[in-house]
C-alpha cells in the first residue's frame, strides 16, 4: 500500500506530497458532510434537536434510495461494496485499497498477519526462521500445495513470485520494504525450501510477506490462477468483481472440511454510502466497514443487532501549530507556537471526552499519543501525558510570561494571544471539534478564529505557503507498524508537518526522535524496536508537536445472517478471516 494520501480531509498514512498531485487512489472515506449546522455553542436540547433532524433527513433519503444489486447473489456467496474499481488485479503491482482487498481474498501468502493478535501466522509456509542478524530468512513449504488450476506449487513458484515483486520493472510497492531490493538473493535448495538472503535486516517480516501473493512461475494471471481462498472469475468495470472458491485451496478446518466456507464473494463497485446502507438493510449486502457516527446511528435504528463499535481505531485527529522558522508569521507569534509551555497549556485546556461525546456521538476515544491503544504491540502502556486541567494550563502560561487582563491573554511583550485554526470544510465532526476547542481555549484567554477551507485551498496554505498558525486534521493509519511513520517523524522529511524539511534537527528532542526512529527501523530485535518507539511516544507527549484529540472508533455493520466473523480493526476489517465466514442460509 502507498504510505499516504489526502482523502476527504484526512491524511492517509503520512505522505503529504501526494495531495499536491491530486492523487486519491488510496480509497474514499465515508462522506461526513451530513450533520448539524456548526454553531459556537452546544446547548444540549438544541444539539439533540439538530441530530434528530439529521437522522430524519437521512432516513427519508434511505426510504427513496433502493437500488437493485449489480448482479444476483449466487447460493453461498458473500456480497459487499467497494467504493471504486480495482486499479489492477496483478498482486505484485497493488498500490490502493480496492486492489489490495482483491489480493487479500485471492492471494496465497507465506505468512498472514492475524488481524486480532497482530502476530504473523504460517500459511503456505508451514514454518519459517529468521537469523539472529535478520539477514537470512528460511521458509519451509507445506507439502502437496496446488494452485487453483490443479498445478503443483513448489519453491520455484515462490522464488519466481518474490523475484518478480523485487524487480524494478514491476514497480511493486512492497519491494521498498526490502530496503535494497536489487541485492536480495532468493534460492531454492529443494522443492519445499526457500532461502532469502538480505543485504540489510528488515523490520516487520510478517507484514512484508502478508503482502506477497505466490503465483505460478512464469504464468502471471491477474488473479485467475491463485493459491488463496478465491479466484477472480468475473469482472464488469463499474459494476462488480466476482470471486469464486478455489477448489484446490490448501486449508481445512478442525473437522477436516475444506475452506473457505463461502462459495464466492461479489464486490459491487458502489461509491454511494446511502445506497450501500440501503442494500445492507435489505439484506443484499453482508457487511460495511468504516461507518461514520451518523451512518452508524441509521443502521443501529433499523438493525441494532448489526452494528458493532470496536472501540478506538488506529486513526487519529490532531491539532498542530506551525513551527516553521521561515513561516510568514510575526516573530512574536512564532515565539508562542515554538514554546513548549504554550502547546502544553493548549493541550491541558481541551476537553477531549466532550469532543468524543459530542462531535462523534460517543463513538470516539480521547487521544493523547500517535499510537492508538488498539495497536496492542506498539502502544506505550506507561505513557505519561498532560491531563485536562485549566488550572495547570494557566500555570504553564504564567511560567512563560503570559498574563490575563479580564478575558484576554497577553504575552510578555503585551501582544494579545489571537490565532486561527485551519480545517477542511465538509467534515461535520472536525468542524464541531474546532468550535469546541475555540470555546475551551477562550477559557484560558486565547481568542481563536476558525477558518474552514476547501481541500485544495487548505493544501495550498499548508504545503506551499506555510501561511497558517494552527491546523486541525485527521490521520488515517493503515498499518500498525511504526516503521510506516518514518516520513512523519524524521526531522528531514517534507512530511514532518509542524516544521518540514529541517536540514538539521531544530531542537534536541527532534534529534532524539530521529535517533530512536532510525534505531527501530534498523534493529532486528523486536524488544529494541519497542523500547525505541516507547521513547518516541513519550517525547511526543512531553513536547506536544501534535496535540492528539481523539481516536475515531472503528464502526462496522455485519449482517446477522453471517457466521464465523471475528471483527477486527485492522484492514480488511470484518472480512479478515474470510476462510471461515459464511451465510447461515447459504450452501457450502
Residue 435 has pLDDT above 70, yes or no: yes
Q: Cα separation of 211 and 261, whole Å?
A: 23
In this model, does residue 2 exceed pLDDT 70?
Answer: no
What pLDDT, on the 0 to 100 scale, is given for residue 510? 98
Which residues sit opposite 582 in a β-bridge?
A: 563
CATH class of 67-75+231-312+554-583: alpha beta
How far apart (Å, rounded) are the C-alpha atoms in residues 114 and 564?
15
Work out the pLDDT band at 202, boundaries 50, 70, 90: confident
Architecture of the 99-210 domain:
Alpha-Beta Complex (3.90)
- What gap in Å lies between CA 103 and CA 66, rounded to an integer? 30
pLDDT at 45 over 70: no
pLDDT in tens, 136-190: 999 999 999 999 999 999 999 999 999 999 999 999 888 988 888 999 999 999 9
Residue bearing the bigger pLDDT, 37 or 502 = 502
Residue 4 has pLDDT above 90, yes or no: no
Q: 28: pLDDT confidence band, cut at 50, 70 and 90?
A: very low
SS3 474: strand
Q: Per-residue pLDDT tens for 392-401?
A: 999 999 999 9
CA distance 6 to 481: 20
| H or E stretch at 62 | helix 44-64
The pLDDT assigned to 57 comes to 52
- Scan for cell 478564529, then name that residue: 449
The pLDDT confidence band at residue 281, using thresholds 50, 70 and 90, is: very high
- Among candidates 422, 559, 408, which has minimal Cα distance to 79? 559
Residue with grid cell 525450501, as numbered in its chain: 193
Mean pLDDT of 47-55: 44
Residue 539 has pLDDT above 50, yes or no: yes
The distance of Cα 115 from the centroid of its chain, to the nearest Å, equals 13
pLDDT at 65 over 80: no
Cβ atoms within 10 Å, residue 341: 18
Q: Is 281 helix (H, G, I), strand (E, B) or coil?
A: helix
Nearest to 421 by CA among 587, 547, 562, 305: 547
Q: What are the residue ranges spanned by the domains of the chain?
A: 67-75+231-312+554-583, 99-210, 315-553
Q: Could you read off the pLDDT of 90-138 as tens digits, one per residue?
A: 999 998 999 999 999 999 999 999 999 999 999 999 999 999 888 999 9
Asked whether the beta carbons of 287 and 578 are under 8 A apart, the reply is: no
C-alpha cell at 90: 496483478
Supply the pLDDT for residue 233: 97
Alpha helices in 74-220 (DSSP H): 97-106, 155-166, 205-210
- For residues 378 and 482, the answer to whether their CB atoms sit within 8 Å is yes
Say what the pLDDT of residue 586 is: 67
Residue 300, pLDDT score: 97
**For residue 134, what is the enclosing H or E element?**
none
Residue with cell 498542530: 320
- Tell how strand 316-321 and strand 546-558 pair up: antiparallel
Q: At 484, list the grid cell.
A: 510506516
- Buried b / exposed e across 145-159, counting CB within 10 Å, b at 16+? bebbeeeebbbebbb
Cell numbers 472501540: residue: 311
> Of 44-48, 148-152, 337-341, 541-545, which gets the smallest average pLDDT?
44-48
Rounded-to-integer distance, Cα 90 and Cα 414, Å: 63
Split at pLDDT 50, 70, 90, the class of 68 is low
Kindly tell me the burial class for residue 69, based on how many C-beta atoms sit within 10 Å of its own C-beta (0-12, 13-18, 19 or more).
middle
For the residues 47-54, what does the mean pLDDT come to?
43
Average pLDDT over residues 221-249: 97
Cβ–Cβ < 8 Å for 320, 543: no
Half-sphere exposure of 276 (CA within 13 A, CB side): 26
Beta bridge partners of 550: 317, 366
- The x, y and z cell numbers of residue 350, run together, are 481541551
The mean of the pLDDT values for the chain is 89
Dihedral Cα 539, 540, 543, 548, nearest 10 deg: -160
**Does the domain at residues 315-553 carry the CATH identifier 3.40.50.300?**
no
CB–CB of 240/266 below 8 Å? yes
Task: State the Cα–Cα distance between residues 226 and 72, nearest whole angstrom.
Answer: 25
Strand 264-269 with 447-453, pairing: unpaired
CA distance 62 to 282: 11
Give 344-365 pLDDT, tens digit per residue: 999 999 999 999 999 999 999 9
Q: What is the pLDDT of residue 500?
A: 94
**Mean pLDDT, to the nearest integer, of 542-551?**
98
Determine the average pLDDT of the residues in 550-575. 96
Phi, psi of 580 (to 5 degrees): -105, 5
Q: How far is CA 489 from the centre of its chain?
A: 17
Banded pLDDT at 27 (limits 50, 70, 90): very low
Percent of the chain with pLDDT over 70: 88
**288, 556 Cβ separation under 8 angstroms:** yes
Residue 14 has pLDDT above 70, yes or no: no
Residue 30: pLDDT over 80: no
Core vs surface per residue 546-584: b (16+ CB within 10 A) or e: bbbbbbbbbbbbbbeebebbebbbbbbbbbbbbbebbbe
Say if residues 300 and 363 touch (Cβ distance below 8 Å).
no
Task: Provide the pLDDT for residue 353.
Answer: 97
What integer is the mean pLDDT of 423-432? 93
Please give the pLDDT value at position 51: 47
Amino acid at each position: 500500500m502507498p504510505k499516504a494520501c489526502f482523502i476527504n480531509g484526512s491524511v492517509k498514512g503520512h505522505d503529504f506530497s501526494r495531495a499536491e498531485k491530486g492523487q486519491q487512489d488510496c480509497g474514499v472515506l465515508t462522506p461526513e458532510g451530513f450533520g448539524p449546522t456548526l454553531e459556537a455553542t452546544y446547548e444540549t436540547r438544541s444539539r439533540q434537536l439538530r441530530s434528530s433532524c439529521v437522522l430524519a433527513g437521512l432516513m427519508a433519503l434511505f426510504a427513496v434510495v433502493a437500488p437493485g444489486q449489480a448482479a444476483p447473489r449466487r447460493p453461498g456467496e458473500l456480497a459487499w461494496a467497494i467504493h471504486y474499481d480495482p486499479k489492477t488485479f496483478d498482486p505484485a503491482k497493488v498500490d490502493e485499497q480496492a486492489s489490495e482487498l482483491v489480493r487479500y481474498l485471492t492471494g496465497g501468502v507465506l505468512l498472514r498477519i492475524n488481524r486480532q493478535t497482530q502476530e504473523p501466522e504460517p500459511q503456505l509456509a508451514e514454518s519459517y526462521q529468521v537469523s539472529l542478524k535478520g539477514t537470512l530468512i528460511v521458509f519451509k513449504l507445506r507439502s502437496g500445495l496446488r494452485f487453483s488450476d490443479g498445478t503443483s506449487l513448489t519453491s520455484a513458484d515462490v522464488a519466481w513470485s518474490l523475484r518478480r515483486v523485487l524487480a524494478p520493472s514491476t514497480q511493486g510497492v512492497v519491494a521498498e520494504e526490502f530496503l535494497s531490493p536489487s541485492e536480495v538473493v532468493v534460492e531454492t535448495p529443494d522443492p519445499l525450501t526457500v532461502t532469502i538472503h538480505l543485504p540489510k535486516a528488515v523490520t516487520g517480516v510478517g507484514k512484508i510477506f502478508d503482502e506477497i501473493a505466490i503465483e505460478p512461475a512464469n504464468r502471471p494471471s491477474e488473479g485467475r490462477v491463485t493459491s488463496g481462498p478465491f479466484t477472480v472469475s468475473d469482472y464488469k468495470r463499474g459494476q462488480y468483481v466476482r470471486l469464486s472458491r478455489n477448489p484446490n485451496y490448501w486449508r481445512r478446518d478442525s473437522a477436516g472440511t475444506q475452506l473457505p466456507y463461502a462459495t464466492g464473494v461479489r464486490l459491487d463497485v458502489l461509491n454511494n454510502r446511502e445506497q450501500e446502507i440501503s442494500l445492507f438493510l435489505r439484506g443484499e449486502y453482508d457487511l460495511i466497514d468504516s461507518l461514520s457516527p451518523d451512518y452508524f446511528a441509521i443502521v443501529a435504528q433499523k438493525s441494532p443487532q448489526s452494528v458493532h463499535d470496536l472501540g478506538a481505531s488506529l486513526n487519529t485527529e490532531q491539532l498542530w501549530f506551525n513551527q516553521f522558522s521561515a513561516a510568514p508569521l510575526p516573530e512574536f507569534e512564532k515565539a508562542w507556537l515554538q514554546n513548549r509551555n504554550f502547546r502544553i497549556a493548549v493541550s491541558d485546556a481541551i476537553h477531549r471526552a466532550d469532543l468524543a461525546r459530542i462531535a462523534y456521538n460517543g463513538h470516539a476515544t480521547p487521544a493523547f499519543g500517535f499510537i492508538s491503544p488498539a495497536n496492542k504491540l506498539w502502544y506505550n502502556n506507561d505513557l505519561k501525558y498532560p491531563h485536562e486541567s485549566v488550572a495547570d494550563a494557566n500555570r504553564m502560561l504564567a511560567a512563560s510570561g503570559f498574563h490575563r487582563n479580564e478575558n484576554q491573554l497577553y504575552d510578555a511583550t503585551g501582544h494579545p494571544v489571537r490565532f486561527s485554526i485551519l480545517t477542511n470544510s465538509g467534515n461535520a465532526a472536525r468542524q464541531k471539534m474546532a468550535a469546541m476547542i475555540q470555546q475551551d481555549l477562550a477559557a484560558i484567554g486565547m481568542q481563536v478564529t476558525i477558518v474552514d477551507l476547501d481541500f485544495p485551498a487548505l493544501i495550498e496554505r499548508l504545503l506551499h505557503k506555510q501561511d497558517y498558525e494552527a491546523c486541525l486534521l485527521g490521520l488515517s493509519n493503515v498499518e500498525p507498524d511504526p516503521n510506516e511513520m518514518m516520513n512523519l517523524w524524521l526531522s528531514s522529511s517534507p512530511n514532518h508537518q509542524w516544521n518540514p524539511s529541517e536540514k538539521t534537527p531544530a531542537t534536541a528532542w527532534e534529534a532524539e526522535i530521529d535517533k530512536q526512529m532510525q534505531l527501530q527501523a534498523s534493529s532486528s530485535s523486536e524488544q529494541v524496536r519497542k523500547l525505541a518507539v516507547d521513547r518516541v511516544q513519550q517525547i511526543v507527549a512531553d513536547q506536544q508537536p501534535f496535540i492528539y484529540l481523539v481516536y475515531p472508533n472503528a464502526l462496522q455493520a455485519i449482517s446477522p445472517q453471517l457466521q464465523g466473523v471475528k471483527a477486527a480493526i485492522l484492514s480488511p476489517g470484518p472480512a479478515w478471516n474470510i476462510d471461515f465466514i459464511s451465510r447461515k442460509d447459504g450452501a457450502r
